[in-house]
Each structure stands twice: as C-alpha cells, then as structure tokens.
Structure 1
Amino acid sequence: MSKQEFVVLGQDDRPAACCPGLVAAPLEEDQAAELAKTFKALGDPVRLRLLSLIASRAGGEVCVCDLTPAFDLSQPTISHHLKLLRQAGLIDCERRGTWVYYWVLPAALDRLSTFLTPAQKAGTTA
C-alpha cells in the first residue's frame, strides 16, 4: 500500500465534525480543558511508557502483574499512574480475581490523533 493511499484512507475514516485538527479551528474552552487533562496524563514518562506497553500488547489487554516488572517502581506507584491514565480516559480496566487487566480505549487515541493531525490544504496531497 502506498503512503498516499494510507493518507486518503485515514482521512476518510476520521470523524470530521467532532474533533477538528490542531490547525483546522481554534479550540473551545471546554475542549481545551478536556485535552489538557489528557496531555497532562501523558506528560509523565512512566505514564507514557505504561500506555505504550498496554497499547502494544498482543490481544489488546495486559495484567498489572506484567506491567510492574517493567519499571523500577513499587506496585502502588504503578497503580497510581494507571489510575491517572484511567481518569484521563485513555485506558480502562477490569478486576479478575486478584489481578486487574488494562486495555487502551481506541476512541481516546483516535481523538488525540485527530486533534494532532494537521488540516490538509485544498488541492494538496500527502
């Protein structure tokens, strides 16, 4: 698949009305406040790595027991970071017995992607 085909497909799939790109339209106050919470959650290297570990996991979900060894941090600290990612709406979880399993919320990543994608000028192709 060529790069040009990918760009065209990605733009057709993007929800145009709900989330204008960064340069397409100025943000409203409530939109800016919501996005700021998300970016604040991603502003910590540990949380960014956690999100990456969860998102890249085969099967789409990961047990907290598999996340903790990847860091030189205590389990309560990892749980705190995961809680902040949940509060930002980036991940969700479910308790299964003793363990908690986490997965990324694709709609949240799609919103961020749409927001960060520059608007295409009329008559230009990527």
Structure 2
Amino acid sequence: MKDKLFLVVFAALIFASCEVNSGSTVVGSGNDTQISGVTFTVDTLYVDASGSGQLVARGLAKASSNISSPWYVEGQFYTDSTLTVKLGGNDTQIGVPLSPGQSTFWTIYFSTTSVDVRQFPNFRIGDLRAIYKN
C-alpha cells in the first residue's frame, strides 16, 4: 500500500512540475528580443507543391521606430483560419534597417516531415512578430 501511495504522490509531483504552455507564440528562443511597434500585412499565402511541399507566406512589415539589421520576422503556421491546429513555425532574416514609417517585404517558408503540408491549402499564418535574436 505504501508503495502505491508513493508512486501516486511521485507521479503527481512529476506531472505538476511539467510546464504546459500550449498558448506560446514563440517560434525560436524565448530569450529573443521582441521589437515593438511593427505592423504586419499578409498578402500572399500558397502551397508550393514541388518536391515534398512547403507553405509560403508573404507580406509587408512596417516600422514605427528605428530597427537595425539584422532582425527577423517569425510566425506560426496553422491548418486553417480558425488558428486552432498549429503545424509549426519558422522565421526569416531581414537584412535592411528601417526608420519610422518605412516598410519591407518578408517571406516565410514552412515544411515538416511530420505531416504532408500539401493537405492544407487553406492554411494561415499568425502570431507574427519582429525580433532580434540573442
């Protein structure tokens, strides 16, 4: 009986110490520095069906303050517009600095060996953010 109680308590402690963070919007390191005041527009989404397939998202990033290069745009890829089933995320490096009011184009690609992304022609990208990698 004591062994069973010990196992139950031990399992409960292990479970309680595990952090579940399903709401995370971070693609890369949580130590990256987020750049505030950047607005994003997504203007193109398509599935590149060549090879094993990849999802492609393109858009514009507009700065409201000075941004030095290099910096990155990252985002999460979802199966559809409900943004409830996450496929994964990726980022792209931006090599140009921006001043307030200036914009630049970005393109993020996503592929995975876990699932055939060509199955999701109505995919969406969300949780876009601009970062400096630390």
Above 0.5 in TM-score? no
Higher relative contact order (CA 8 A, sep 6+): 1
Alignment TM-score, normalising by the size of structure 1:
0.26
In terms of fraction of residues, the more helix-rich structure is 1
In terms of fraction of residues, the more strand-rich structure is 2
